[in-house]
Amino acid sequence: MQPWFDPSLLFINGTWRACASGETLPVINPSTGEEFARIARGGGADVDAAVEAASAALAGPWGALTAAERGRILLRLSHLVLDHAEALAEMEATDVGKPLTQAKADVIALARYCEFYGGAADKLTGQTIPFQQGYTVYTLREPHGVTGHIIPWNYPMQIIGRSIGAALATGNACVLKPAEDACLTALAFADLAHQAGLPAGALNVVPGLGTEAGAALTAHPDVRHLSFTGSVATGKRVQIAAAENIVPVTLELGGKSPQIVFADADLDKALPFLVNAGIQNAGQTCSAGSRILVQREIHDQLAARLSAEISALTIAPAMEDARLGPLVSARQKAIVEGFLAQATPDQILAQASVPEGLPEGGNYVAPTLIGNIAPDHPLAQNEIFGPVQVLIPFDDEDDAVQIANGTKYGLVASVWSADGGRQMRLAKRLHAGQVFLNNYGAAGGVELPFGGVGHSGHGREKGFEAMYAFTTLKTVAAHHG
Ligand code: NDP
């Protein structure tokens, strides 16, 4: 699979160009370990050029558009994304190893973000505020200016959609630094945005290393907002860089999200969600339901049913579209295997097998269910970011809440129970940015505000809430007597 554009170039000011250093980095197919393309190794000079182009766009044609005109561009872009669905899905599957069905779902989500924010662009309004005699007071929602977007490799298209979609709808000009392991669909998106009529400079893409292009973007004094999705360690660096320039930052840093199953739950309904929330995208999901908390009286029953499901999961190269593809990189595989090595044999309740004959260079890891584990064990506390779930028993509601809230994270939680009162009580008591009652993830829910508490980060993306994050509020007080 080769992209329809030259992936070794940067997209700056509406045109393709080589990076200042002229250096490139390999693009590896995680299903085979083979190099199939090169991307630019963008650096500080390229980020400078991208920010300059974005600033000029704000002062020029992009800044002059009405909200409705911005929205129409995003709606056209949504259609163009769908027109290129097959190519985008194959590109993503080859680049990051996600099974084709998942890659196609990501394309649909990207189109839906463009549709949602295209429709929302001219719906964001200010307020009039009753004040003293002789005054009229109102508020204006204004773009920050140049926004910096640092996205990871696990859901590139979805995260581009939620972040760039909201930023463009509200009139910002964006500089995007995709993860070095996942640049292709970001470049494709910029090309399609240009085809949709986005003025030059409104969206610029600078691939490269996080420590070079990423760090340069976070440190740039003309970037007025930063949004970051990724690890806690890098998130801290981004927040420190943002503090240096006093700019707001949205951080989405993953989690160790609990799925809480009470004895009165409908297990037939819950089971597919419980498994899928852990193994979707080979577990490389910020909102993965990686901790399954089960009421003790049904522990053995659920353990047996989960084990049967997990042992039967299929693994294959991304284009063969099994339930799991490879992990994104050899590095990520080593991280996950390092975690698995911490489990004793009696803690491995179930493990699928990696079939023989898969390409040797692929980063395949068998999905695994771990049990007989204390809630404070490192495997039950840390984000593994692979297809590994832990099963932990609890006694009652209080116990469930204590275990569920007992990590440093707080991104998502789910409650499986037939008791409506219990659902409401837990929805209030759980530390999480999203709580799902008798479901998990609400099928991605482009419309639903998303973000975390604690080490899962702060700020909200998705839905209308992101439009507030990507704007600053100005109060105008007119004294007219
Ligand atoms: P990182 O947090 O390091 O990477 C996320 C993004 O940040 C990438 O675009 C990366 O670029 C960029 N980046 C890296 N260093 C800097 C820097 N100093 N300044 C600015 N940007 C930077 O995650 P990793 O890819 O290293 O993955 C490690 C772990 O992070 C995973 O095992 C997982 O636990 C977690 N993670 C969580 C994600 C989530 O959705 N919450 C997503 C991805 C990872 P580049 O990749 O080019 O270095």
Place of tokens 């659920």: 302
Do 218 and 296 share a domain, yes or no? no
Same domain, 228 and 269: no
Structure tokens at 243: 């503090």
Rg of the chain in Å (alpha carbons): 23
| Tokens 């490389």 -> residue | 284
Rounded CA separation 392/380 (Å):
9
Q: Give me the half-sphere count of Cα atoms (radius 13 Å) on the Cβ side of residue 98.
A: 26
Q: Is 252 a catalytic residue?
A: yes
Q: Whose CA is nearest to atom 16 of ligand 1?
A: 210
Residue bearing the CA closest to ligand 1, atom 35:
231
Compute, in angstroms, the gap from residue 412 CA to the centroid of ligand 1: 20
Rounded Cα distance, 450 and 434, in Å: 7
Nearest to 120 by CA among 61, 62, 167, 58: 167
Q: How far is CA 28 from the centre of its chain?
A: 21
- How much distance in Å is there from the Cα of 255 to the middle of ligand 1? 14
Nearest Cα neighbor of 178 from 147, 204, 153, 212 is 153
2: in domain: no
Same domain, residue pair 110 and 216: yes
Distance 83 CA to ligand 1 centre (A): 30
Is residue 4 in a domain?
no
Please indicate, yes or no, if residue 1 is contained in any of the structural domains: no
Angle at which helices 299-311 and 267-279 pack, to 10 degrees?
A: 50
**DSSP annotation of 433:** S
Q: If you ran DSSP here, which 8-state letter would residue 252 be given? A: E
> Token pair for residue 479?
């004294």
As given in the structure block, the two tokens for residue 443 are: 């099928």
How many Å apart are CA 203 and CA 149, to the nearest integer? 10
Find out whether the beta carbon of 383 lies less than 6 Å from any atom of ligand 1.
yes
Give the model's pLDDT for residue 310. Answer: 98
CB of 461 closer than 6 A to ligand 1?
Answer: no
Report if residue 428 sits inside a domain.
yes
Tell me which residue of 303, 323, 305 sits closest to 313, measured CA to CA: 323
pLDDT at 2: 80
Verify whether ligand 1 is closer than 6 Å to residue 152 (CB atom). yes
Instruction: Say how many domains are in the chain.
Output: 2
335 lines ligand 1 (CB under 6 A): yes
Residue 180 CA to ligand 1 center (angstroms) comes to: 9
Which of 465, 411, 407 is CA-nearest to residue 434?
411
Assess whether 156 and 263 both reside in one domain.
no
* Torsion angle in degrees (nearest 10) through CA of 268, 274, 279, 283: 170
Coil, strand or helix at 247: coil
Contact predicate 338/327, CB 8 Å: no
pLDDT tens profile 280-324: 999 999 999 999 999 999 999 999 999 999 999 999 999 999 999
Nearest CA residue ID for atom 10, ligand 1: 210
The CATH number covering residue 384 comes to 3.40.309.10
Atom 9, ligand 1: residue with shortest CA distance: 179
Expressed in angstroms and rounded, the spacing between residue 123 Cα and the centre of ligand 1 is 33
What is the CA(177)–ligand 1 centre distance, in A? 11
Q: What is the CATH number of the domain that holds 144?
A: 3.40.605.10
Nearest CA to ligand 1 atom 11: 210
- Cα dihedral sign for 429, 431, 292, 159? positive
| Cα angle, residue 441 at apex, residues 438 and 442 outer, rounded to 5° | 75
For ligand 1, say whether the CB of 230 is within 6 Å of any of its atoms: yes
Q: Are 21 and 153 members of one domain? A: yes
Based on the fold, state whether residues 248 and 264 are members of the same structural domain.
no
Q: Are residues 194 and 265 in the same domain?
A: no
CB atoms within 10 A of CB 407: 22
* Contact yes or no for 456/430 (Cβ under 8 A): no
Concatenating the DSSP letter of every residue in 320-349 gives: G--SB---S-HHHHHHHHHHHTTS-GGGEE
Residue with tokens 């996942």: 182
- Tell me how far apart the alpha carbons of residues 37 and 90 are, in angstroms, rounded to a whole number: 14
> What is the position in ligand 1's atom list of the atom closest to the CA of 155?
40
Q: How far is the CA of 310 from the centre of ligand 1 (A)?
A: 28
Eight-class DSSP state of 160: H
Residue 465 confidence (pLDDT): 97
Q: Tell me, yes or no, whether 438 lies in a domain.
A: yes
The pairs formed by 26-29 with CB atoms below 8 angstroms and a separation of 24 or more are 27/95, 27/183, 27/184, 28/181, 28/329, 29/94, 29/95, 29/97
Task: Give the type of residue at 333.
Answer: K
Nearest CA among 60, 74, 54 for reference residue 172: 54
Smallest CA-to-CA distance from 282 within 328, 337, 349 is with 328
pLDDT per residue of the chain (481 residues) written in tens, 0 to 9? 689 999 999 999 999 999 999 999 999 999 999 999 999 999 999 999 999 999 999 999 999 999 999 999 999 999 999 999 999 999 999 999 999 999 999 999 999 999 999 999 999 999 999 999 999 999 999 999 999 999 999 999 999 999 999 999 999 999 999 999 999 999 999 999 999 999 999 999 999 999 999 999 999 999 999 999 999 999 999 999 999 999 999 999 999 999 999 999 999 999 999 999 999 999 999 999 999 999 999 999 999 999 999 999 999 999 999 999 999 999 999 999 999 999 999 999 999 999 999 999 999 999 999 999 999 999 999 999 999 999 999 999 999 999 999 999 999 999 999 999 999 999 999 999 999 999 999 989 999 999 999 999 999 999 999 999 999 999 999 999 9
Whether 5 is covered by a domain: the verdict is no
* CA-based nearest residue to 96, from 156, 41, 39, 42: 156
- The finding on whether 180 has its CB within 6 A of some atom of ligand 1 is yes
One domain, residues 47 and 127: yes
Residue 319 domain boundaries: 258-446
Name the closest-CA residue to atom 37, ligand 1.
Answer: 230
Beta-carbon contacts of residue 90 (< 8 Å; ≥ 6 apart): 1, 100, 103, 319
Examine the domain organization and report whether 249 and 341 are in the same domain.
no
Q: What are phi and psi of 148, to 5 degrees?
A: -105, 135
Nearest to 129 by CA among 405, 376, 477, 451: 477
Question: Which of 181, 209, 218, 234 best tests ligand 1's pocket when mutated (most atoms within 8 Å of CB)?
Answer: 234
Phi, psi angles (nearest 5°) of residue 393: -80, 155
Q: Is residue 211 part of a domain?
A: yes
Closest residue CA from atom 34 of ligand 1 = 385
| Residues 299, 185 share a domain | no
Alpha carbon distance 478, 113 (integer Å): 37
Is there an atom of ligand 1 within 6 Å of 281 CB?
no
Measured in whole angstroms, how far is the alpha carbon of residue 115 from the centre of its chain? 18
- Residue 377 per-residue DSSP state: S
8 A C-beta contact, residue 99 and residue 280: no
- Which has the closest alpha carbon to 113: 225, 12, 189, 191? 189
Q: Which H helix or E strand runs over 212?
A: none
Among the options 115, 180, 212, 252, which is catalytic? 252
- Does residue 295 share a domain with residue 148? no
Query: Are residues 231 and 272 both part of a single domain?
Result: no
Is residue 16 in a domain? yes
Q: Could you tell me which of 441, 452, 446, 440 has the C-alpha nearest to residue 467? A: 446
